[in-house]
Structures are given as C-alpha cells and as structure tokens.
C-alpha cells in the first residue's frame, strides 16, 4: 500500500447495512481530510437483495475487488426471507472469512460512558474485554457440507493446530498491547468445552503450548456454559477471550447486550494479509428503512480499520484518525446523544451530526 493513501472496498449489503455504511462514510471523509490521509472507497454489490435480483449473492468481480483492496468495510448482509435452495441464508461475509483466511474475529465489548449498561452493579461501567472469535473453522467449517437426509442432519466441527496456534498467538499479543495501554497485566482466557469434546481438549492443549511463549500474560480456560453465566455475573473480570467460531458468534451478541446492544458492537475479521471491518450486528429488518439504525458499531469498526491500516504501515495519520474517531463517538454519547436502541430519540443522521461536531464540524 502507498504510505498515507489506501483503497477501501465497501460492501454496504442489505437493510441497515446500507444505512450505517452511508453514515460511516459521511464521518470518514472529513476525518481523512483533517488528518491528511487518502481514503479512496469503492462500493461493491453483494448481499441478499443482489441475490434475489441476479441469482448471485457475491459476484466474483466484487470478491476480486475486495481482495485487492487495502481493507474491506462491510455493512451487514442477509435477509431472513431470502433463502437458498438448502434453506440457509446467503452470507458473503462468511465467504470472505474463509477465502481470505480471516481467522481472528475481534469483537471488543466496552461500556461507553453515557450508554446505559444492562447490569446494576457499578463495576459494569468498567466492562472492557475482547472476544476473539475463531472465524474460519469450528462448527462453521461444516457450512454447506452437512449431511441431511429425510431422517437426520449432521454437521461436523473442525479444530486445527495451525489455526489454533495463530488464534492463540493473536490473542496473547492483543493482551500484551492492551496491558501496555491500560497499565495492568494482561489475561487470556480460552473459552471451550474441553470437558466433553476431544476437539476442545485438543484446542486447549495447543493453546497451553502457545501460552508458554507469553510468560508475562496470565492464561486460563473457562467452559463456554460457565462463561455465559460469568459474562452476565462479572463481565468486568475478563480481558481477552479466544474461542471457537460458533461459541464466539453466540457470546458476542450476549456481550453486546451488556453494553447497549448490537448498535454498540464493532468487529474486525483479521487474517495474515487481509481484514474485513464490520459491525457484529445484522441487517435488522425490524428497523430497516426508518432512519433509526445506530451507526456507532460501524463507526467503531471503521476506527479499528484505520488502526489496522496504521499497523500495516499506512502511516501515523491513520492511528491518529482512529484515536480521534473513538474519542468522538465516546464524547457524543457522554454529551447526551441517545439513540433509539437505548430508549432515546436520536436517529442515524443525529449520530452523524453529533460525531461530526465532536470532530470539529
């Protein structure tokens, strides 16, 4: 990538995916200008409505353009009423994860000042942990390959040494960076089901091997069922939580519910060479088209993108812009912005205006 100038492939998708994408681009454009960084964006067709219109959910030309860009920004895709012959929905975001090897699904969960948290305990205001959802194997490995007969359906889960090592190293390195930033020791807790499944006993053994490379970071394990309990009982106790694909999918929605809902749930799918940045939420058919989607999750995902681009050598301006965007979203909510998902009256455009105002107009 040319220093200080990058190409972003934009996949707005369906439903509120297109709404939060438009809102995010409206914030990114002036932010980039302020920091003197070049962001050229190209919108690409893909998604459920594209599938309905053309029979192709993810044109190869869109995939190729996304693959060759410096980063990919995705809204959300899928629509419950639009299904393939096997009964499943279209999901180009899964194609991206699999085809580009995006094994680390980074899903930060952080209480934003001013956004009501679900728990009454005052420690809930300090919630700040990151789920690292393995995103290329686990139960999702079986996608499109399960056995279905008249009498049974069977899907299989796959865990590999190579991916578990990468996921574990990614998680420990993330914990080291967070420890340096937050001024306390890092902790990585693998979330598994090693009490019952050999695949998870294997995953745990590989994770433990990698843990020995990071003596400065505390490591541990927790069963996924007990973790679901703990994420409601004492979520402030956790730091970095690597886990299997399906477990991470489920726990990330639960975790979003702790800190305001899906509208506050950013996400990044990161591989060795490529990355997709998208909110963890879906297309929200229940509110699509009403102008009330909360774009905060996508704005925070875009900030993760700028930070990742900086780490790939795009330039300090990208890191500065990321920090400023995070701070602007926080300040907007701390300053009284109240989106409808948290019981207020502010719609998508009001969030854009409030964040732009924090960024200096």
Ligand X SMILES: CC(C)[C@H](C(=O)O)[C@@H](O)C(=O)O
Ramachandran category for residue 47: left, alpha or beta (phi over 0 → left; psi -120 to 50 → alpha): left
Q: For residues 45 and 62, is the Cβ–Cβ distance under 8 A?
A: yes
| Range in contact with ligand X (rule: CB under 6 A) among 19-27, 65-73, 88-96, 299-307 | 88-96
Burial of 82 (0-12, 13-18, 19+ CB in 10 A): middle
- Residue 281 binding result from ligand X, Mg ion, ligand NAD, none, given CB thresholds of 5 to 8 Å by partner type: ligand NAD
Please give the radius of gyration of the chain, using alpha carbons only, rounded to the nearest integer: 20
Which of 30, 36, 80, 113 forms a contact with ligand NAD (CB under 6 A)? 80
| Binding characters for ligand X, 260-299, by CB under 6 A (x = yes) | --------------------x-x-----------------
Q: Whole-number minimum distance, CB 95 to ligand NAD, in Å?
A: 12
| Range in contact with ligand NAD (rule: CB under 6 A) among 4-12, 54-62, 65-73, 281-289 | 281-289
| Binding characters for ligand NAD, 13-32, by CB under 6 A (x = yes) | ---x---x------------
- Residue 172 binding result from ligand NAD, ligand X, Mg ion, none, given CB thresholds of 5 to 8 Å by partner type: none
The yes or no reply on residue 91 touching ligand X (CB under 6 A) is: yes
d(CA 152, CA 140): 18
Which of 22, 249, 324, 341 forms a contact with ligand X (CB under 6 A)? 249
Contact set for Mg ion, span 236-255 (CB under 5 A): 249
Binding residue count for Mg ion, defined by CB under 5 A? 1
d(CA 240, CA 223): 15
| Range in contact with ligand NAD (rule: CB under 6 A) among 71-79, 108-116, 207-215, 349-357 | 71-79
The yes or no reply on residue 342 touching ligand X (CB under 6 A) is: no
| Range in contact with ligand NAD (rule: CB under 6 A) among 37-45, 168-176, 282-290, 300-308 | 282-290
Kindly report the number of other CB atoms within 10 A of residue 337's CB atom. Answer: 23
| Shortest-Cβ-distance residue relative to ligand X | 91
Which of 8, 281, 325, 354 forms a contact with ligand NAD (CB under 6 A)? 281
Which of 15, 75, 78, 266 forms a contact with ligand X (CB under 6 A)? 78
The yes or no reply on residue 14 touching Mg ion (CB under 5 A) is: no
Query: Considering beta carbons, is residue 239 or 341 the nearer one to ligand NAD?
Result: 341
- Strand ranges of the sheet holding 275-277, from the earlier edge strand across to the other edge: 38-43, 5-13, 71-76, 275-277, 268-270, 104-110, 128-134, 240-243, 187-192, 218-223
Query: Considering beta carbons, is residue 155 or 253 the nearer one to ligand NAD?
Result: 253
- Residue 79 binding result from ligand NAD, ligand X, Mg ion, none, given CB thresholds of 5 to 8 Å by partner type: ligand NAD
Q: Whole-number minimum distance, CB 78 to ligand X, in Å?
A: 5
| Shortest-Cβ-distance residue relative to ligand NAD | 282
The yes or no reply on residue 324 touching Mg ion (CB under 5 A) is: no
Which of 10, 32, 77, 337 forms a contact with ligand NAD (CB under 6 A)? 77
* Positions in the binding site for ligand X (CB under 6 A): 78, 91, 93-94, 249, 280, 282
* Positions in the binding site for Mg ion (CB under 5 A): 249
* Positions in the binding site for ligand NAD (CB under 6 A): 16, 20, 76-80, 89, 93, 261-263, 278, 281-287, 293-294, 297, 341
């Amino acid at each position: 990538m040319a220093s200080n100038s990058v190409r972003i492939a934009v996949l707005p998708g369906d439903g509120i995916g297109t709404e939060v994408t438009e809102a995010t681009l409206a914030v990114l454009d002036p932010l980039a200008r302020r920091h003197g960084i070049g962001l050229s964006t190209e919108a690409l067709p893909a998604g459920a409505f594209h599938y309905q219109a053309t029979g192709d959910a993810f044109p190869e030309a869109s995939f190729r353009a996304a693959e060759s860009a410096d980063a990919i920004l995705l809204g959300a895709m899928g629509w419950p009423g639009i299904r393939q012959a096997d009964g499943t929905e279209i999901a180009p975001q899964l194609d991206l994860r699999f085809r580009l090897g995006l094994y680390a699904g980074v899903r930060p969960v952080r209480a934003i000042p001013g956004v009501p948290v679900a728990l009454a305990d005052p420690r809930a205001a300090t919630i700040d942990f990151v789920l690292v959802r393995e995103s290329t194997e686990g139960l999702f490995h079986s996608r499109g390959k399960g056995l279905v007969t008249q009498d049974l359906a069977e899907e299989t889960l796959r865990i590999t040494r190579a991916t578990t090592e990468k996921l574990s190293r990614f998680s420990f390195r993330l914990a080291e960076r967070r420890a340096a930033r937050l001024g306390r020791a890092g902790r990585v807790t693998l979330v598994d089901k090693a009490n019952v499944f050999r695949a998870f006993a294997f995953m745990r053994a590989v994770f433990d091997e990698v843990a020995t490379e990071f003596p400065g970071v505390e490591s541990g394990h927790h069963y996924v069922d007990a973790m679901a309990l703990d994420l409601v009982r004492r979520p402030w106790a956790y730091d970095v939580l690597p886990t299997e694909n399906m477990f991470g999918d489920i726990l990330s929605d639960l975790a979003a519910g702790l800190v305001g809902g899906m509208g506050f749930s950013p996400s990044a799918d990161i591989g060795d060479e490529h990355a997709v940045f998208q909110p963890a939420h879906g297309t929200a058919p229940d509110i699509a088209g009403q102008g009330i989607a909360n774009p905060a999750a996508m704005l925070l995902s875009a900030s993760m993108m700028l930070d990742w681009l900086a780490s790939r050598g795009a330039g300090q301006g990208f890191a500065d812009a990321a920090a400023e965007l995070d701070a602007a979203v926080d300040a907007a909510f701390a300053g009284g912005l109240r989106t409808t998902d948290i019981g207020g009256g502010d719609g998508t455009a009001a969030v854009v205006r409030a964040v732009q105002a924090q960024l200096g107009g």
